[in-house]
Structure 1
């Protein structure tokens, strides 16, 4: 029986982080996104108090830029990938230390980019990890666990016909149990408005303790107020303790609501790094995390340019637990 992945707050030996590498994808945001990722790397490394950072760049030009920006805060490696969202394309380490590598189809055949389908396998082998490959599609940002075998996900993503057409809810649950040791699954409904991942849960709800789930609370004019309300009601009915958390509210770019979320924070050994967007609740989000993680440094960092690519700090990272 596969053991469930350790929770994110358990000790890490290292973390993979993707470094923006392709001008044709990032256009005028490339350098700014690289700078934001480098700041994230330094916060996670925490001058040696945090885990080892393995910063993944896709080509030699990006490797050189990464080395200049992060210095000794990371080990920079070159591996071809389509884009930086290693939470989704990287392998997931189960509780027995095995890299569970799932199929990937560009978030429902939206983005077919060279290297994304096997970057998880290549990175795991580079670290000399045992790898088991699975034929069904599962992105790491679509699930979160508390370490006990309990997972949370959304129906919008895991039951979406653009991922695993024909799989029923019961069949998905059976595969989560067999491949990742998740024996109980809390199903939330939809994810954030305009989220191209089709509702990844790491923008909506995060475990912060055993059977303890963090869910945003809507602010004025928040486009996701129904989503948050439904998620909280489902979690409470399931028997999970719900802790409410500030939301950035309505964030607009190019006259369109974008899926900005404070929930896309990364829990490292020494620091919790939360993305900020210049919103009224930025300070409140940092303050709330300080109460929730008193043993870690809480670092709020702007992630506006990373968000232009569709995600934030949690999306670009995948931890390797310490076994």
Structure 2
């Protein structure tokens, strides 16, 4: 009997949840720019009706009013309290049989304990009348990426970090990934990007773009993560059945003179469009062109994501698709 697994992101979606920046105290001067970038991303995913239904999730009535004013009629506004917009990590993960799994969440290893984040996944699933099962161990959606066949890629830095599931070893986590999400084969990479407060989420490092085809950045000359990319590619190349493709990296991206975890890998694969975060880096256009070759049936749209990145993530981090 074939187990249900999360469909690959390029499989059809009926809708997508997208977090809308809602808390001024978290975003400060970046609140309005981040809202503008989020709505532009949502509009690109909707693709004038050719894409999926967009569910903009606002944490309160003030944010919902702002979202309605900015998005107009193309998006449905969902009001559910949450701590922050990173729904890839806090929303439920849906499987090919239509059910959902909601995992424990501890603020990325205890870093950010915000009201509403621990149960937003169940509430979102119940709001859409999706059958949801709770899983009693910590897992964030951005920590894993699957190709729809039962093959998963993740990083040791995150999934084996003692600040997540200190009582579970690698074999036990592998068993739970199999039991709860149906994964039968796991590619373990090492570390994630420098200064990534998620402890190395894989959706900033490596993404499946087709069954068995894994995209990993090719470092720019000034990239602080060049060794991370080199190691990830070497490990992936050793796994039978994996085909590697390389995407140019943005190189060194600074915010207030600090290196930030900017990555083109945080793209979102929608029904009609692949939306790629851009940072004003020299390789922006080259990254879009590389992804166009991998997704010939979709529009590949590059959009600036500087303000969203101030919160620690980008387009993939703020979204969670609903298959169908």
Fold in common (TM above 0.5):
yes
Specify the SS of the correspondent of 2:214: strand
Separation of aligned partners in 2, 1:148 and 1:2 = 10
Partner of 2:219: 218
- Asked whether the 8 Å contact 1:2–1:179 carries over to 2, the reply is no
Partner of 2:111: 110
Separation of aligned partners in 1, 2:222 and 2:167 = 37
- Deviation string for 1:153-175 (max 9, x for gaps)? 00000000000002111100000
Structure 1 stretches of 4+ moved >2 Å = none
Partner of 1:33: 34
Partner of 2:271: 269
Partner of 1:209: 210
Normalised by the length of structure 1, the TM-score is 0.99
Separation of aligned partners in 2, 1:226 and 1:166 = 30
Deviation at 1:145, TM superposition (A): 0.2
Separation of aligned partners in 2, 1:93 and 1:297 = 25
Partner of 2:315: 313
Deviation at 1:289, TM superposition (A): 1.1
Specify the SS of the correspondent of 1:72: coil
Separation of aligned partners in 2, 1:200 and 1:162 = 14
Separation of aligned partners in 1, 2:289 and 2:231 = 25
Separation of aligned partners in 2, 1:146 and 1:231 = 17
Separation of aligned partners in 1, 2:28 and 2:293 = 38
| 1:124-139 superposed matches below 5 A | 124-139=125-140
- Deviation string for 1:28-87 (max 9, x for gaps)? 000000000000010001111100011000011100100011111110010000000000
Deviation at 1:2, TM superposition (A): 4.0
Deviation at 1:282, TM superposition (A): 0.3
Separation of aligned partners in 1, 2:89 and 2:112 = 13
Separation of aligned partners in 1, 2:293 and 2:184 = 30
Partner of 1:252: 254
Structural RMSD (CA): 0.7
- Asked whether the 8 Å contact 1:2–1:94 carries over to 2, the reply is no
Q: Which consecutive unaligned segments of at least 5 residues does structure 1 have?
A: none
Which is worse superposed, 67-76 or 139-148?
67-76
Separation of aligned partners in 2, 1:77 and 1:167 = 36
Deviation at 1:90, TM superposition (A): 0.4
Separation of aligned partners in 2, 1:258 and 1:76 = 30
| 1:280-291 superposed matches below 5 A | 280-291=282-293
Separation of aligned partners in 2, 1:231 and 1:171 = 23
Matched, 1:238 2:239: yes
Specify the SS of the correspondent of 1:283: helix
Matched, 1:83 2:84: yes
Separation of aligned partners in 1, 2:33 and 2:66 = 12
Matched, 1:22 2:16: no
Separation of aligned partners in 1, 2:68 and 2:54 = 12
Specify the SS of the correspondent of 2:247: strand
- Deviation string for 1:184-235 (max 9, x for gaps)? 0000000000000000000000000111100000011210000000000100
